[in-house]
Structure 1
């Protein structure tokens, strides 16, 4: 049995070869850009009503959107399903060949099935689409051929056809997959808007991402609490306050009253400024040199709000107080950095 070999590379790669590579790259991008522009023009010229019908079909769907395709169309189908799911439309990918061997059980009569095939004649899809239709699920076909079998079987057909592929041989799916992906993104964005999907909703489906951290992380999630919070009574000496600052490692201490309400704050910066004057440090009380009425933030506020306060007032530490004004925690800018809020 012969083993296929990789193509033999050219013996040299000169300036002429480099220019051809760059020209092909630019041609590819232009062909794919033209394909998307043509798709936009079709929607604006009349195909838009069919697109709207597809959006309505999905909005009215009590179940999920099941997206399917073979080969390169399958890769695009996976991406479209993922984009829909992350923007408020429950969706999943089903491989058409696996569907014929049991995975069809993942599709219910309440679902919308989106079949993707550039030719519209993919055998694996055509084998399962009649079953899906008999089940009662609605079918949206995305193909490049209005007269194809899939287009004829569908409740809504979205034409993603292109004039030519970017492949010089006009064989490898390139412009056609790009146009299909763009059409899937257009569907997702239209559905996102129709559902009133907001930043908070996006964050809930992306808790591990930067936006999720910014919109879902609260002060209570990252603040220091309990014994880790540096705090002293208003009557203690400056020396005792400095010992508290050193032991807790936040570069500051809160000053609290008998009800543990924050009445002041003293930071490393305050100490440096204090050293510039003539003082008898052994006799100083912390209440004499503290900043009264310190800035505080609530534990239920977003951590990003703490960042905004720190940036606005050019501070690195922030006290956390509850609704009654009692000290319940403290934040250092490093805590927010470690939590990747900033």
Structure 2
């Protein structure tokens, strides 16, 4: 039986990888140029149109109807979702389906945001006619200022021309990203304009990772007898029993008024390890004026405090009095960390 020939080393795999990376870099450069072009345009005529669009949406009594077809339709779905999740009621209507009954979803109190790079999609004609007939505000997002869509719109957001990342300048790539970026800019401008807070955000995002991050300390903390506490003047032997029985790796120290004035942690035990440690008073071992948090703090903010302070537990206080304790493990179980 003939022996198999040894495999010859070659650099084709490396060359292919280099070619792919160079392609990716060209794509990102092209798409980055599109975003830069929007930023420059906002310093000129696009800026005034953008402001007008924000005002039109903010003053609307109804919802924002975002519509598009093809790749613009996919982008429109995402923009509608971003509007809705940041406090601007919105939903997506497919431009073609609108002519088959979905126009009934749109009311005179709504605002239509129509996406079309060319502004000449025939499927959008009936939607434009409907908007004009019932005097529904229409905002166009297009690259053609002289297009049918642009001329019919109350506000035309005319994007600058940009070359697609596709080497044939055909597949919607840069243009799709530009539409998406401008939609995001609209949503964030509206969010900031109405003072939409993280608390408002939490109401609309109760599930998933975002929902966990937007829970409050009061939702995750341990309260009542679960909180490890001992008064000033307690011997370390008693404090250690409290620390061990509660299982948080620490014990809060309170004064005669019930205010938190210190904390004894595993780290404090290591730093003060000596033969007479168990007979010493917590006053001499504790870390004074420990970090505490309020019960209305967002879990995401509590996590940031734990991480930045390199600690694993925080005592929750109300007017300096302990009402609970929050451990890093609680955040892990809730899906915050």
Measured after TM superposition, the shift of residue 220 of structure 1 is 2.1
Aligned to 2:315: 319
Measured after TM superposition, the shift of residue 72 of structure 1 is 0.4
Aligned to 2:8: none
Q: What residue ranges of structure 1 are gaps of 5+ in the alignment?
A: 1-11
Distance 1:18 1:254 in 2: 57
Q: For the structure 1 residues 15 and 225, does the alpha-carbon distance in structure 2 shift closer, same or farther, using more than 3 Å as the test?
A: closer
Measured after TM superposition, the shift of residue 57 of structure 1 is 1.6
Q: For the structure 1 residues 315 and 277, does the alpha-carbon distance in structure 2 shift closer, same or farther, using more than 3 Å as the test?
A: farther
**1:95 counterpart = 2:94:** yes
Q: Please point out which of 226, 234, 251 is paired with 1:228.
A: 226
Distance 2:22 2:262 in 1: 67
Distance 1:20 1:287 in 2: 65
- Preserved CA contact (<8 Å) 2:268 2:287: no
- Preserved CA contact (<8 Å) 2:46 2:159: no
Q: How does 1:170-185 map to 2 (within 5 A)?
A: 170-185=169-184
- Preserved CA contact (<8 Å) 2:269 2:285: no
Aligned to 1:61: 60
Distance 1:48 1:271 in 2: 61
Q: How does 1:9-48 map to 2 (within 5 A)?
A: 21-48=20-47
Structure 1 window deviating more from structure 2 (34-43 vs 220-229): it is 34-43
Q: How does 1:285-324 map to 2 (within 5 A)?
A: 291=286, 295=290, 297-302=293-298, 316-323=312-319
- Preserved CA contact (<8 Å) 1:235 1:285: no
Q: For the structure 1 residues 255 and 143, does the alpha-carbon distance in structure 2 shift closer, same or farther, using more than 3 Å as the test?
A: closer
- Preserved CA contact (<8 Å) 2:41 2:160: no
Q: For the structure 1 residues 122 and 238, does the alpha-carbon distance in structure 2 shift closer, same or farther, using more than 3 Å as the test?
A: same
Q: For the structure 1 residues 258 and 137, does the alpha-carbon distance in structure 2 shift closer, same or farther, using more than 3 Å as the test?
A: same
Q: For the structure 1 residues 175 and 312, does the alpha-carbon distance in structure 2 shift closer, same or farther, using more than 3 Å as the test?
A: closer
Q: For the structure 1 residues 318 and 194, does the alpha-carbon distance in structure 2 shift closer, same or farther, using more than 3 Å as the test?
A: closer
Note the alpha carbon deviations across 1:137-177, whole angstroms, 9 max, x for none. 11112222223222222212222252543323332222222
Measured after TM superposition, the shift of residue 228 of structure 1 is 2.3
Note the alpha carbon deviations across 1:259-307, whole angstroms, 9 max, x for none. 976677554445556651347x5xx596786749764544345556666
Note the alpha carbon deviations across 1:83-121, whole angstroms, 9 max, x for none. 323333222211123323333232111111011112222
Distance 2:317 2:182 in 1: 50
CA RMSD of aligned residues (A): 3.9
* TM-score calculated relative to the size of structure 2: 0.75
* TM-score calculated relative to the size of structure 1: 0.75
Q: For the structure 1 residues 317 and 28, does the alpha-carbon distance in structure 2 shift closer, same or farther, using more than 3 Å as the test?
A: closer
Measured after TM superposition, the shift of residue 70 of structure 1 is 0.7
Q: What residue ranges of structure 2 are gaps of 5+ in the alignment?
A: 1-10
Aligned residue pairs total: 326
Measured after TM superposition, the shift of residue 125 of structure 1 is 1.6
Q: For the structure 1 residues 32 and 235, does the alpha-carbon distance in structure 2 shift closer, same or farther, using more than 3 Å as the test?
A: closer
Aligned to 1:249: 247
Structure 1 window deviating more from structure 2 (72-81 vs 225-234): it is 225-234
Structure 1 window deviating more from structure 2 (77-86 vs 288-297): it is 288-297
Aligned to 1:148: 147
